[in-house]
Amino acid sequence: MIRDSGFQAVFPLAIIAAATFLACSPEGNESSAPQETGTVAAAAPVSAQPPTMQELANATFSGLQDEPVQLVDGGWQGEPFVEGGASVPAVGLVRDFHLVGDVTGDGNEESVVLLWTSSGGSGTFDYLAVVGRSAAGVANLGTAMLGDRVQLRQGRLSEGTIEIDVVQAGAEDAACCPTQMATRVWEMGLDGLTEISSEITGTLSAADLQGPEWVLTDMAWDEPAPAEPEVTLVFEEDRVAGNAGCNGYFGGFEEDTEMPTNLSFGAMGATRKMCAEEIMRVEDRFFKQLNGVTHFGFLAGKLALSWQDDTSAGVMMFAPREP
């Protein structure tokens, strides 16, 4: 289960790095992937309490750059690659992803988090990291790379292993637009965090959005949706329905047969209630953005709908409703 910590890193480049996985043009997406990741040996944990998100946002991580990286408020930025240049190495802690459990088998709980790294180009590499406590304090026990622009659908701990459902680039996919679904498994050992299995589970399509009721959590990057009114979205075959804040709505959608993550919605029918002005503003904006949706993907377990119109563009984020 993904624990939503409520923490949001205050780091401008996080928006740029997170947005790259939703860019659908395959042009200019060649990048050089790191070959190895690193781990940090740590002393025996001394506390059963896992690190908090505040501690994780200021922890030191290895295996991300040539030298260990000290986060400050969830982010790190290095020196420009070329003096006076705009391209800089950057690292960020991904919000909304935090698994807690005994990963090392020592009887104490550790934290499993997701980090992104960017060199200023189109590629954004994601990493899993296990963080626990030692006599010296919070310690990064292991780090492992997920890959370039890998999308995380769901994460869980199972009998000491870390299981991650991802969307990654298949043999025929451009790096920008992955469609291959897989379940990958890591475990902690003497050599640190090691991937022990990977099973391809299918090709992503809109059919995989059916099942849960999706609840709007973010109107845009770093703009949480208001707690009230609640906006929802449910996929059923070639139709959708939900509540836009005041009114219930329903309508159809289409996906691109050649690019299954391209998605568009038709005109929506809705009930005709009138609510308070602030609620109607939320509803009107939601319908406007829904009408402009062009693409879907996932980020840290959330459904991301990219939209654009003649004057603006953005991403709406939805979380599956917990049972």
| Helical H segments across 125-193, by residue range | none
Residue 32 lies in a domain: yes
One domain for residues 221 and 110:
no
Residue 125 lies in a domain: yes
Q: Is the pLDDT of residue 11 over 70?
A: no
Among the three residues 152, 168, 185, which one is the final residue of a domain in this structure?
152
One domain for residues 239 and 308:
yes
User: Tens digit of pLDDT for each residue in 173-203?
Assistant: 887 889 999 999 999 998 899 999 999 999 9
Residue 116 lies in a domain: yes
What is the identity of the amino acid at 281? R
Count of beta carbons in the 10 Å neighbourhood of residue 275: 13
Model pTM score: 0.81
What's the distance, Cα to Cα, between the start and end of the chain in Å? 12
Contact in structure between 294 and 262 (CB atoms under 8 Å): yes
Expressed as residue numbers, the domain containing 66 is 13-152
Task: Extract the tokens encoding 166.
Answer: 């991802």
Confidence of residue 323 (pLDDT cuts 50, 70, 90): low
Among the three residues 152, 175, 196, which one is the final residue of a domain in this structure?
152
Count of beta carbons in the 10 Å neighbourhood of residue 15: 13
Residue 190 lies in a domain: no
Which class for 115: exposed (0-12), middle (13-18), buried (19 or more C-beta within 10 A)? buried
Which of 213-228 are b and which e, b meaning 16 or more Cβ less than 10 Å from the residue's Cβ? ebbbbbbbbeeebeee
One domain for residues 77 and 144:
yes
Among the three residues 120, 152, 184, which one is the final residue of a domain in this structure?
152
What is the reported pLDDT for 119? 82
Contact in structure between 178 and 150 (CB atoms under 8 Å): yes
One domain for residues 25 and 134:
yes
Residue 288: what are its φ and ψ, rounded to 5°? Answer: -60, -45
Residues in CB range of 273: below 8 A, 6 or more apart: 246, 247
Number of domains in the chain: 2
What is the reported pLDDT for 123? 74
What is the reported pLDDT for 20? 43
DSSP per-residue codes, 169-180: --TT--TTS--E
Residue 241 lies in a domain: yes
Q: What is the mean predicted confidence (pLDDT) over 212-217?
A: 96
Contact in structure between 164 and 151 (CB atoms under 8 Å): no
One domain for residues 148 and 68:
yes
Count of beta carbons in the 10 Å neighbourhood of residue 82: 9
One domain for residues 110 and 210:
no
Confidence of residue 135 (pLDDT cuts 50, 70, 90): confident
One domain for residues 20 and 143:
yes
Edge-to-edge strands, sheet with 192-203: 151-158, 161-168, 180-189, 192-203
Residue 158 lies in a domain: no
One domain for residues 217 and 115:
no
Residue 174 lies in a domain: no
Residue 164 lies in a domain: no
Q: What CATH number is given to the structural domain containing 238?
A: 2.40.128.270
Q: Is the pLDDT of residue 64 over 60?
A: yes
One domain for residues 260 and 136:
no
One domain for residues 109 and 210:
no
Averaged pLDDT score across all residues of the chain: 85
